[in-house]
Amino acid sequence: MTDGKLDKTGDFEGKIKLVATDLDGTLLSREMELSEENRRALVRCIDRGIHVIVATGRSRSSVPQAVRYVDGIEYLICANGAKIYDNRTNEQLYARYLSREAMESVWEIIAAGDIMCEVFYDGTPYISAACYNDLARYGVPEWFADYVRKSRVPVDDLPAFTSEHMDVIENVNFNYGSDGVSTYLRGRLGDSALYELTTSLPFNYEIGGLGVNKAEALDFLCDRLHIAPAETMCIGDNANDVGMLRYAGIGVAMGDAVPAAQEAADFVTLDSAQNGVAHAIDRFVRNG
């Protein structure tokens, strides 16, 4: 990955050629909707010839149509950087998977079935039917449960499904409903050198292939587009955004972002309820 960050004391206006934004807690509201103000801000960037990219922990199938159908959004970085798609043609441009060794290291947790597990395969998240039908038992908050029901595909035997696709798993998410389960997962997952461990919600841990993250995926696209990291602005709110916030010429954290994201950022905008993405765009690229 190249090093091209701007001098942080410089004037950024007019230098941004690419804007990459996270979805949940960033571009989307707390109700997981795209506000008209944020949509218009993206369109202003596109109209000025600025590349607009989505960089999310979500799978491709879970990216809202309201976002995908914004005319001019070119690329989707999904599953924390495991996949990149051309949003205009649906072509898959890039794929990096968890190794078999990484999958085997967490197999015991997947097979036990007593912790909510989501397996991302071929751009879609899969979940056990038993969990899907009783999300409250697994400690899933109701506001998130509705999203799970709309976006996850239930399978009768998740371990068997996972085993069948063991070499092409994009991401594995474990959601927990108690501090005890969180502590157990952190102890089991935290010291491995086989995968990348991150989080995007207050109640989950996510693992992806070694070296897979949003910053690496963004670097692939910058190279493809002949754009220097210094010419990018990235916006995010959680641990899985930290790498790309550091990578960008301007890293922007949301006003209610986790401390690690705010520390990695160059600028803290308003929170998602106040259209912080639009606020940041107007601050840095209005003359771009």
Looking at the predicted structure, is the pLDDT value of residue 8 above 80? Answer: no
pTM of the model as a whole? 0.92
Same-domain check for residues 139 and 176: yes
Stretch 154-168: mean pLDDT: 97
Tell me, what CATH number does 197's domain have?
3.30.1240.10
Closest CA to 52 of 38, 62, 65, 35: 38
Q: Which residues pair with 284 in a beta bridge?
A: none
Write down which residue in 155, 187, 209 finishes a domain.
209
Phi/psi of residue 75, each to 5°? -135, 150
Query: Would you place residue 286 in the very low, low, confident or very high pLDDT band (cuts 50, 70, 90)?
Result: low
Query: Would you place residue 143 in the very low, low, confident or very high pLDDT band (cuts 50, 70, 90)?
Result: confident
Residue 6 falls within a domain, yes or no?
no
Same-domain check for residues 71 and 167: no
Q: Which residues pair with 175 in a beta bridge?
A: 116, 204
Amino acid at 49: G
Beta strands 73-78 and 250-253: pairing type?
unpaired
Compute the radius of gyration of the chain from its Cα atoms. 18
Residue 35 falls within a domain, yes or no?
yes
Q: What is the pLDDT of residue 9?
A: 38
Looking at the predicted structure, is the pLDDT value of residue 4 above 70? Answer: no
pLDDT, tens digit, 9 for 90 and up, residues 59-95: 999 999 999 999 999 999 999 999 999 999 999 999 9
Containing structural domain, residue 130: 100-209
Contacts of 166 (CB under 8 A, 6+ apart): 100, 103
- The SS3 assignment for 139 reads coil
Residue 2 falls within a domain, yes or no?
no
Looking at the predicted structure, is the pLDDT value of residue 7 above 50? Answer: no
User: Which DSSP category does 89 fall into?
Assistant: T
Same-domain check for residues 150 and 199: yes
Q: What is the pLDDT of residue 233?
A: 98
Residue 1 falls within a domain, yes or no?
no
Looking at the predicted structure, is the pLDDT value of residue 280 above 80? Answer: yes
Query: Would you place residue 287 in the very low, low, confident or very high pLDDT band (cuts 50, 70, 90)?
Result: low
Contacts of 258 (CB under 8 A, 6+ apart): 237, 238, 239
Q: What is the pLDDT of residue 2?
A: 41
Same-domain check for residues 178 and 111: yes
Stretch 222-237: mean pLDDT: 97
> Where do the DSSP E strands lie in 138-282?
153-155, 169-175, 195-198, 204-209, 232-236, 250-253, 267-268
Write down which residue in 167, 194, 209 finishes a domain.
209
Stretch 120-128: mean pLDDT: 97
Query: Would you place residue 3 in the very low, low, confident or very high pLDDT band (cuts 50, 70, 90)?
Result: very low
Same-domain check for residues 176 and 221: no
Same-domain check for residues 200 and 230: no
Residue 7 falls within a domain, yes or no?
no
pLDDT, tens digit, 9 for 90 and up, residues 21-40: 999 999 999 889 999 999 99
Q: How many structural domains comprise the chain?
A: 2
Find the distance separating the first CA and the last CA of the chain, reported in whole Å: 25
Stretch 156-166: mean pLDDT: 97
Compute the distance between CA of residue 147 and CA of residue 58 in angstroms, rounded to an integer: 12
Residue 8 falls within a domain, yes or no?
no
